[in-house]
Structure 1
Amino acid sequence: MKRFLGLLILSFCINSCDDGEFEIQSFDFSSIPATSCNGANASFFIYYTNNREALFLEIPASNFPPLVTATNNPRIVTISSTNKVTYRVYNGAVTSASICSTIPPASPVPVEEWIATSGVIEIITSVNRQTNETTGQSFITGYTHTIKLVNALFVKGDGNQQLFEELFLGDYVTSVDPPTISPSSPILKCGTNLNYIFQNSGKEVITLNTVVNLFVNDITPTGQPRTAVIDGADTKMAYKVYAANVPLPATFFCVIPEPANTVPPLLKTWIALNGSTANQTGIIEVTSVLFNPTTYRHTISLRKVTFAVDGVNFTFGDLYVLGTIDTQL
């Protein structure tokens, strides 16, 4: 159980006393996961509930980006009239339905409120992933944001005050969609240029740019694929995510470098890490067969290719069949 330290600041208001003792609230939400309301719009906020108690953090959703924070370098949000932290006690059990409702319900209603007037919110973000031990596939599923209030001064309407040097709150978890590209997604080339090909699946695109002649009209011997090692220069791969489905044909894929203002806009580019023949990583493998009397079919596989951006990475697995592309005699 995460612990917190609350220091009571003496109040000169006589109403803050009860039978000679000052009122102290626990504000204990350390083991309760955070929930959010209103998506990522301007009225977004996260909250915690514990029976009749609730704690609200009204800060922009942009404070929870899919970016891992560096060690000992949390994301800092200063508590203010804009970045609000509020604790409430209700006259009955409070639920997500009552908190996120556009029209507040008649019950329960707040009977006590403490507003943070100073301090900071510290957010540490780590990545969540799902790994298949058999195939080696490892996808990012989301991010965990660990939240702590530091030197947070809460003030009640009657003048009672309470200072928390450290107040640990439950984690807020955001999810991301794993790649949806599959071997059934088409692999296309730019005109007759087989040195630059791409695979499109809705909002996602994988590009391969290489000077190695991988697509030869010749059958490859069993167990001897043509190979190219990703090096960031002669052979490069990228996994790109756009804001909407990419219409085909998308001619901007065939422009190097890709234009800055594409339609739809490019959101994120994951770059394939350099590979190694010795370690059998980051390798493009192509096997070719005679599909019919006038067509060769080339199957493209990725051997331990890892894509990375912003300090996080994912891989399709130890040996992943990307798809096929045909060439004519």
Structure 2
Amino acid sequence: MKKYAALLLFAFLLNGCDDGDLIVETIDFETVTESAACDTTNTLIYKLKAQEALLLQLPNDKIINDNGTYEYPIDSKGNGLYRVVYRAFDGAITQNNICGAIPPSTPRVTEEWIATDGIITIQTTQIEPKNTNDDGTRITGYEHSIIINNVTFAKPSGDQTQARYVFGTYKTEVTPASLTFRTNTSGLAYSCTNVKRVYNYNNSFYLSIEDIDPELLKNEVTPSNQPRTSLITATMNKVFYKTAKADTGVFTEENICTPTSSSPVVAQSWTGQLGVAGEKGIIEVSTALVGTTYTHTIVLKNVILERGNSSFKLGSSFLLGKIEVNTAN
């Protein structure tokens, strides 16, 4: 981020003049619908036209991947952490003119406007396409609509104030929730003997039901199409989806049931919304008996997982797996 701030200041001091090559009365980027960033830190976001650039500089944690409205003041008369800068050039420009470590000598900046006051408002909404095989959803990214309210630009001909300036839309991508369980031809789920937890998993994540209702796992056969049902509540049938932070290890049956200091660091933890009878957050269990082994098939019905202000739906009927109990032992 310091690199981008230095570049902005360097160009302003050396090139912030108007030689008449491009006369600018208003900043107009309406035809440029989406913004781009110099790198994944999202500290310098830009929009480009043939000979013009509009730049937004932020600290690296202010493009937030969560639904909501976020506001940041332009401070220090345009020289603070939040900056909006417009530039006109005397020739065609590309990303390299904006993001290069050493600014190219051409094209030159012929005019520069710096926002010295105003509020940067970012309205963020999740991008949530439906699955192709059911009515569940997965978050694939976020759309950030950026507006600058009550902005004052310091420009060569004098200050100019606008009540509302639409910077535009910037999109970020996220890795959709992975819910493909480890290879298991029998379709088994797993349980912990030391805690009331049933789960299924892969190396990078696990999906669990904590404090599962013991009535759901009774060793009694259920009639056809008449599963036992129970709701997600604040104290029972709590559903969690947890992911492992990259390069901190993998999930195993041992560390899911008994976390240790060597267990992977949890990167994200999503929680199942509380259930509503007949609508959402329902746990269903069907029980069959073969010989001396009861098989409990666990299905999550209309379960919605949430984290912060974001949420996605597992599906109308999501199979967690089967728990086998051999009563001969």
Task: Return the TM-score normalized by structure 2.
Answer: 0.77
Please name the residue that 2:269 is paired with: 269
SS for the counterpart of 1:276 is: coil
Distance 1:289 1:130 in 2: 36
> What amino acid sits opposite 1:273 in the alignment?
Q
Q: Structure 1 or 2: larger strand share?
A: 1
Post-superposition CA distance 1:263-285 (Å, at most 9, x none): 533333222122233x2421112
Please name the residue that 1:26 is paired with: 26
SS for the counterpart of 1:130 is: coil
Q: Does 1:127 align with 2:126?
A: yes
RMSD over aligned CA atoms reads: 3.2
Distance 1:100 1:301 in 2: 50
Change (3 A) 1:302 1:40: same
Question: Number of matched residues?
Answer: 299
SS for the counterpart of 2:270 is: strand
Change (3 A) 1:106 1:290: farther
> What amino acid sits opposite 2:83 in the alignment?
K
**Kept after mapping to 2: 8 A contact 1:242/1:266:** yes
**Kept after mapping to 2: 8 A contact 1:114/1:155:** yes
Distance 1:101 1:113 in 2: 18
Please name the residue that 2:87 is paired with: 88
**Counterpart selection for 2:297 from 296, 299, 310:** 299
Change (3 A) 1:149 1:220: same
Q: Does 1:200 align with 2:222?
A: no
SS for the counterpart of 1:57 is: strand
**Counterpart selection for 1:76 from 69, 72, 75:** 72
Please name the residue that 1:314 is paired with: 312
CA apart distance, 1:301: 1.3
Please name the residue that 1:233 is paired with: 235
**Kept after mapping to 2: 8 A contact 1:16/1:160:** no
> What amino acid sits opposite 2:193 in the alignment?
G
Q: Which has the higher contact order (CA 8 A, sep 6+)?
A: 1
> What amino acid sits opposite 2:167 in the alignment?
L
Please name the residue that 1:114 is paired with: 113
> What amino acid sits opposite 1:25 in the alignment?
E
Distance 1:104 1:174 in 2: 26
- Mapping for residues 33-44 of structure 1, pairs under 5 Å: 33-40=34-41, 44=43
SS for the counterpart of 2:214 is: coil
CA apart distance, 1:39: 1.3
**Kept after mapping to 1: 8 A contact 2:249/2:265:** no
Q: Which runs of 4+ in 1 moved over 4 A?
A: 15-18, 183-186, 216-219, 293-297
**Kept after mapping to 2: 8 A contact 1:243/1:264:** yes
> What amino acid sits opposite 1:208 in the alignment?
I
Change (3 A) 1:316 1:47: same
SS for the counterpart of 2:68 is: coil
SS for the counterpart of 1:99 is: helix
SS for the counterpart of 1:232 is: coil
Distance 1:248 1:239 in 2: 12
Please name the residue that 2:11 is paired with: none
CA apart distance, 1:206: 1.5
Distance 2:182 2:221 in 1: 22
CA apart distance, 1:165: 2.5
Distance 1:233 1:262 in 2: 28
CA apart distance, 1:325: 3.6
Task: Return the TM-score normalized by structure 1.
Answer: 0.77
**Kept after mapping to 2: 8 A contact 1:179/1:204:** no
CA apart distance, 1:47: 0.5
**Kept after mapping to 1: 8 A contact 2:18/2:111:** no
Change (3 A) 1:114 1:229: same
Q: Structure 1 or 2: larger helix share?
A: 2
**Counterpart selection for 2:172 from 171, 174, 184:** 174
